[in-house]
């Protein structure tokens, strides 16, 4: 079975491929010749993941899954949410995004937040897409700590931990993180389908 992961991040593709049975081959967008920017214009994280997966299925006729992730901060009514990557502007500058978030949280006592990843799977067995959701609850700290990871990792501390995502080994982050949880559900689903 061949399935497309709607990403050009080869590390993500390898990571998922390593977790799947050898009978399932994961392809990237590059592998199928998809060079265009796939639109992400939905108003929810699940909607964006679904939009990407359906675009590939409709235009390239491959079974496909896509993910979308957002950071949702309680005191900011769920911001940055779907705008997490471009919170401080369309250039997707990680440093500016973190700075804007810390500035917007100044003086607020509630710093609880959660990362949410949704994976949408399209084109397998049923006409209806299947969604897998992973959530990691935590809080936003006052200043950056750690050099690992990406995005908001240096200012996000998972609940019940004393380190930010950026201070943790990748294996720890993956075992407790939002993306790891969603991918685990996807893998279980594909393995059962393939059994």
Q: Which residues are catalytic?
A: 68
Closest CA to 31 of 54, 47, 7, 52: 7
Q: Are the C-beta atoms of residues 15 and 2 closer than 8 Å to each other?
A: no
Long-range contacts of 27-36 (CB under 8 A, 24+ apart): 27/2, 27/3, 27/62, 28/4, 29/4, 29/56, 31/4, 32/4, 32/56, 32/60, 32/62, 33/60, 34/59, 34/60
Q: Are the C-beta atoms of residues 113 and 72 closer than 8 Å to each other?
A: yes
Phi, psi of 60 (to 5 degrees): -120, -5
């Amino acid at each position: 079975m061949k399935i497309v992961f709607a990403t050009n991040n080869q590390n993500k593709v390898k990571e998922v491929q390593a977790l799947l049975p050898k009978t399932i081959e994961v392809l990237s967008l590059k592998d199928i010749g998809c060079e265009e920017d796939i639109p992400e214009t939905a108003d929810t994280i699940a909607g964006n993941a679904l939009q990407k997966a359906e675009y590939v299925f409709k235009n390239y006729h491959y079974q496909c899954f896509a993910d979308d992730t957002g950071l949702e901060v309680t005191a900011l009514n769920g911001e940055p949410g779907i705008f997490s990557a471009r919170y401080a502007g369309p250039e997707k500058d990680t440093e500016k995004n973190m700075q804007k978030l810390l500035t917007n949280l100044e003086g607020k006592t509630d710093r609880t937040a959660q990362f949410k990843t949704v994976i949408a799977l399209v084109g397998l067995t049923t006409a209806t897409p299947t969604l897998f959701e992973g959530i990691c609850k935590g809080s936003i700290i006052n200043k950056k700590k750690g050099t690992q990871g990406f995005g908001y990792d240096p200012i996000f501390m998972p609940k019940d931990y004393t380190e930010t995502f950026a201070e943790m080994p990748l294996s720890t982050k993956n075992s407790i993180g939002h993306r790891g949880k969603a991918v685990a559900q996807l893998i279980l689903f594909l393995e059962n389908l393939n059994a």
